[in-house]
Amino acid sequence: MQELGGRVAVVTGAASGIGRGMARAFAAEGMRVVASDLEAGALAVVAEELRASGAEVLEVVTDVADAQAVEGLAAESYARFGAAHVLCNNAGVLNDNRPTWESSLDEWSWVMGVNFMGVVHGVRSFVPRMLEGGEPGHIVNTASMAGLMAGTTNAIYYASKHGVVSLSECIQNELNALGAPIGVSVLCPGPVRTEIVDSDRNRPNAPPVDEPSREYRRRFRRFLDTGVEPDDVGRLVADSIRDERFYVLTHPSWDSLIKARFEAMLDGTAPAAERWPRE
């Protein structure tokens, strides 16, 4: 999609981090923005900031894990702007690390519900409307480097992000087969300086944080602090839509981890063990 100005972008998880970076980048491109998030207070602040910059903004509080709520988001977006040209299924959460067999089903439901089903809900509610509109469009699904490389910890997060990569690949091929004018990108960032370490601020009935989890979060935050700025990722996403780039990576220095995974597959060997988070 070459021209972004005047078109409508919907962003989930827009109240913080990468989603806010995307919303800012789209507003700077002259797009109309539907900013959506579960956290009402932080969302109102971002919406005000975007309006002050001159953008036309609709803010919608939505839990992406709730299919009906996302259907409501689509209905409100179309009622206000009559179209959604860019859909960013970005909202996501990070769980604390513990062995897979010790992770509760509640933890699985929370992370898969937001990171994976949140994308499914966005696709199911928006794509039929986008196809019916017949206008050029683009879907950006936020996965992670964790969706491309072999994991050693945090299996739930890795599994959710591998799912988003696979889903995105299939959707792109389905849309191509239809000849639809809708592109897809899957965003696979390495470390970005955001608030994801404190994801349980939005978790229903979040369990208390124990000391190993506190220590894990401290290490993870130090790791993210070595990363890139979310506003730079937002601008990269806007450019990738224009360039019709499918895989959007932020850290070229990590390419070797992707290669190592595919080489292990072809060799039939165990996946390379990358300690996580890197110190």
Minimum CB–partner distance for residue 211 and ligand NAD (Å): 22
User: Cβ(278)–Cβ(266) under 8 Å?
Assistant: no
- Which residue from 8, 13, 32, 139 is in contact with ligand NAD, where contact means CB under 6 A? 13
Stretch that binds ligand NAD, among 97-105, 127-135, 171-179, 188-196 (CB under 6 A): 188-196
Angstrom distance (rounded) from CA 196 to CA 69? 22
- Which residue from 31, 33, 196, 237 is in contact with ligand NAD, where contact means CB under 6 A? 196
Using CB under 6 A as the binding criterion, the count of chain residues that bind ligand NAD stands at: 34
AA letter at 238: A
Concatenated DSSP letters for 8-38?
A: EEEEESTTSHHHHHHHHHHHHTT-EEEEEES
- Decide: is 38 part of the binding site for ligand NAD (CB under 6 A): yes
- Give the strands of the sheet with 137-142, arranged side by side: 57-61, 32-37, 8-12, 86-89, 137-142, 182-188, 247-249
Stretch that binds ligand NAD, among 121-129, 189-197, 206-214, 269-277 (CB under 6 A): 189-197
User: Cβ(160)–Cβ(143) under 8 Å?
Assistant: no
- Decide: is 202 part of the binding site for ligand NAD (CB under 6 A): yes
126-165 positions binding ligand NAD, by CB under 6 A: 142, 144
Does the annotation mark 158 as catalytic?
no
Tell me which residue has tokens 């491109």: 29
- Decide: is 72 part of the binding site for ligand NAD (CB under 6 A): no
Stretch that binds ligand NAD, among 23-31, 97-105, 190-198, 261-269 (CB under 6 A): 190-198
93-112 positions binding ligand NAD, by CB under 6 A: 93
User: Cβ(112)–Cβ(156) under 8 Å?
Assistant: yes
Cβ neighbours, 10 Å, residue 26:
31
Residues of this chain that interact with ligand NAD (CB under 6 A) are 12-13, 15-19, 37-39, 42, 62-65, 90-93, 114-115, 142, 144, 189, 191-192, 194-196, 199, 202, 224, 227, 230
